[in-house]
Amino acid sequence: MSLDTVLYTAQANVTGGREGQATANDAAIDLTLTTPKELGGAGGNGTNPEQLFAAGYSACFMGALKLVASKQQVKIPAETSIEGFVGIGPVGQAFGIEVELKISVPGLDKALVEQLVETAHEVCPYSNATRGNIDVTLTIV
């Protein structure tokens, strides 16, 4: 998929890999990176690429959900939330990830939410980037 126009480019710099520092060029992000104990690291105070991916995908999907809802004149309640889970594990000799998004849209009919989520999954840039590459499970709670 090739973009028609680039509307925005995010820029981040990482030093030290999973045991390092991540910063954004506009200073909006300045994070310590740590490897989780489950992956052989020390854990502790810091984040990791899987947490960042979970947060990014959840936020992006929320944006897509709001966009498709607004096109249908549906108001997404302020209490709507998306909890992202990113699992990492071996795939043969390499590593891979899987994603689950738990989507809560209180106060809306479940059939409507299912339709909005399905459409948002077609619109969301993260969904388009991952489609056919990793397992993505969308769970409406």
Domains of the chain by range and CATH?
1-47 (2.20.25.10), 49-140 (3.30.300.20)
Half-sphere CA count of 125, side-chain side, radius 13 A = 10
H or E stretch covering 24: strand 21-24
So what's the pLDDT on residue 4? 96
Per-residue pLDDT of the chain in tens (141 residues, 90 and over written 9): 789 999 999 999 999 999 999 999 999 999 999 999 999 999 889 999 999 999 999 999 999 999 999 999 999 999 999 999 999 999 999 999 999 999 999 999 999 999 999 999 999 999 999 999 999 999 999
So what's the pLDDT on residue 44? 87
So what's the pLDDT on residue 1? 79
Distances (CA, A) of 52 to 10, 31, 55, 86, 125: 14, 10, 5, 9, 16
In one letter, which amino acid is 60? Answer: C
Distances (CA, A) of 20 to 30, 31, 110: 11, 9, 43
Residue bearing tokens 């096109």: 71
Q: What is the pTM of this model?
A: 0.95
The C-alpha atoms of residue 48 and residue 7 are separated, in whole angstroms, by: 27
- Cα–Cα nearest to 89, from 81, 102, 101, 99: 99
